[in-house]
Amino acid sequence: MDGVGSILDVGGGTGAFSFPLARRGFDVTHVDFSPAMLTLAREKALDKGNIRFVEANAADLSEFDDLSFDLILAMDGAISFAGTQAERALKECCRVTRSTLITTVSPLSSFVPRWVAASRRCMESSSRPLTP
């Protein structure tokens, strides 16, 4: 992935995406809301020095400055199950990315229509192009 050095994995769980990316040499920040998930991820990451673990809510990424990461991954749970804070979580992901946001939502989630609308607003209000 040309031009990508730093990655934020929002809702990283036990590291399904974080660890393969770290093995490929990316600097990964692994965020999860669950202390239990972070404990499991830390145990699995004993030999991976380029991962930083952060306990945070996807709807409040205030620990990170604007445009902090080249790539944001928000795969399913971080957005789908954020409840009433789902749109805020998506906005926070947009705020901290320099260029690319990859996100998915569960088709079982009632959030899908709101996710589509929020994604459009996020992309339209951004002064920089985001990869759809």
The structure's pTM equals 0.81
Q: Tell whether the model's pLDDT for residue 11 goes beyond 50.
A: yes
Q: C-alpha 3: how far from its chain's center?
A: 18
Asked if residue 93 belongs to a domain, the reply is yes
Asked if residue 31 belongs to a domain, the reply is yes
pLDDT in tens, 84-124: 888 899 899 999 999 898 888 666 555 556 666 666 777 67
Number of domains in the chain: 1
Q: Tell whether the model's pLDDT for residue 127 goes beyond 70.
A: no
CATH number for the domain including 65?
Answer: 3.40.50.150
Asked if residue 83 belongs to a domain, the reply is yes
**Rounded Cα–Cα distance for residues 60 and 15 (Å):** 20
Q: What is the pLDDT of residue 132?
A: 45
Asked if residue 131 belongs to a domain, the reply is no
